[in-house]
Amino acid sequence: MKETKLKIVNYECFPDNNPLHSLFSIYSGRYKQSTFLNEEYNTSTYLQTQSFVYHMEPDLFIRGNILFADKSVLKTTDGVNTTIVAGNSEKSGYKNGQNALFYPLNSFTQISPSHIVASDTWNNCLRLINRETGETSRYAGRCEYSGYKDGTIEAQFNSPKGIIIDLKQNGFLFVADSQNKAIRYVEISPSSIQPVPVTTFHKLSDIDWIGYLAQDPATGNLFITTKLKVHKLTYVSNSLSEVTVSQEPGPSEPVSANFFKEIIFMESKTLLIADRSNHTVRIFDIASNNTCLMCKGSEGHTNGNWKTCLLDRPSSLMILNSTLFIGGFKWIKIIQGKEFLVN
C-alpha cells in the first residue's frame, strides 16, 4: 500500500505549566496519517456493535471499509452497512471452514488483501481467514490445547493476543503469547496448507500478563502492554525495560488499577494507549515522560470534545483518513474536526 506523505501538525494537550508541542502523526506500518487535537475536535458514535471491539484495521479487501473484531466475529463496515467476514454472532467455539467459530478474536492482521491471520485467544492458536473463498483454517499452534512449544505442527500457544507484522524483517509476525509471557515469532505464508513455523523472540519471565504490541518502524523496538505497565523490548539487543505511564496528566507516576489494551506507536515518539479500566485513552510522550488523557476517564457513552467525552471500556485504536477510531464495549467512536490535515 502506498503511504500518505505526512504534514507536520502540532497540538498541545498538557497543562500550561508543562506544555508539550508534538507531532501527532500515526504510523502503523502500512498506514500513515497526520492530524492534531484541540478543543473543537469532538467525538461521535460511528457504529453500535454487539460486544467488545478488540481490534480495527482499514479493510484492504473492500477499500473504504474498516475491519473489526466484534468479540468472536470478524466484521467489515462502511459505517452504515456491516457484514460478517468470519465467525458466528450467536455462538463462540472452534470450527474451521466457511462456518468458522472463534473464541474470541482478540487481534488480527492482514498479511495480504485477501488473507487475515487472527489470534483465536481461548482456542490457543492462530487462524487463517481467506477473504476470497470464505474459508478459515489453522495457521499456527495446536488449536484447543494450551502449551508452550516452538516448531511447526507441534507448536503451542497459551492465550495469544496482540499480533502485528514485523516492520523490520519482511515475512514475519510478532505475537503476544499472553499466558506464556513470551513474544513469539511466526512466519508469514498465506498459501500454506500446513501450520507455519513458530519460534520465541523473547521470554518475559518477570511479567505476569502481556496483551498488545506496537513497533517503532525506524528502530524495530517493540512496545508491549500489560495490565499495569508498558514495556519496551529493544529489537537489536533483545533487552526489556519498563516505560512509566502516568495516572494523571503531566510528569509520569506509576499508574494503578488500570488495564492497558491496544497500543499505537506514533511517529512523534508518542504512544497512544487504550486504558480500558480507567475509561480513557492515554497520549504518552516517550521523550518527556508526560501523559495526556483523551476523554475524562469516567465510564459512559457521552460524546463531546476530546477532553470532556466519556468512554465505556475502550479497548482498540485505529487511525484512518485523519480520523481516530476508538473501539469499546458495544461501540466504535470517532474523533475528528474540520481542520484535520492530510495530503
In a domain, 22, yes or no: no
Question: pLDDT confidence of 203, banded at 50, 70, 90?
Answer: very high
In a domain, 61, yes or no: yes
| pLDDT tens-digit series, residues 61-93 | 999 999 999 999 999 999 999 999 999 999 999
Give CA separation, 307 vs 54, 116, 194, 213, in Å: 23, 35, 49, 26
Neighbours of 40 (CB within 10 A): 10
In a domain, 198, yes or no: yes
Task: Look up residue 30 and give its three cell numbers.
Answer: 502500512
In a domain, 13, yes or no: no
In a domain, 189, yes or no: yes
284: CATH: 2.120.10.30
Which strand (E) or helix (H) includes residue 78? none
Residues 6+ positions from 218 with CB-CB distance below 8 Å: none
Q: Answer whether 154's CB lies under 8 Å from 142's CB.
A: yes
Task: Look up residue 17 and give its three cell numbers.
Answer: 505549566
Is the pLDDT at 7 greater than 80? The verdict is no
Task: Give the domain range for residue 46.
Answer: 28-336
The mean pLDDT value for 16-31 works out to: 33
Query: Considering only CA atoms, which of 62, 64, 107 is closest in space to residue 85?
Result: 62
| pLDDT tens-digit series, residues 243-274 | 876 555 544 444 444 688 999 998 767 888 99
With cell 511517529, the residue in question is 267
| pLDDT tens-digit series, residues 310-322 | 999 999 999 887 7
Question: pLDDT confidence of 18, banded at 50, 70, 90?
Answer: very low
Residue percentage of the chain with pLDDT more than 70: 81
Q: Give me Rg for the CA atoms of the chain.
A: 19
How many Cα atoms occupy the beta-carbon half-sphere of 203 within 13 Å? 8
Please count the structural domains in the chain: 1
pLDDT of 165: 97
- The mean pLDDT of the chain is 83
**pTM of the complete model:** 0.86
Query: Considering only CA atoms, which of 197, 157, 150, 190 is closest in space to residue 176?
Result: 157
In a domain, 269, yes or no: yes
Q: Determine the 3-state secondary structure of 229 from DSSP.
A: coil
pLDDT of 33: 40
pLDDT of 319: 85
In a domain, 152, yes or no: yes
In a domain, 17, yes or no: no
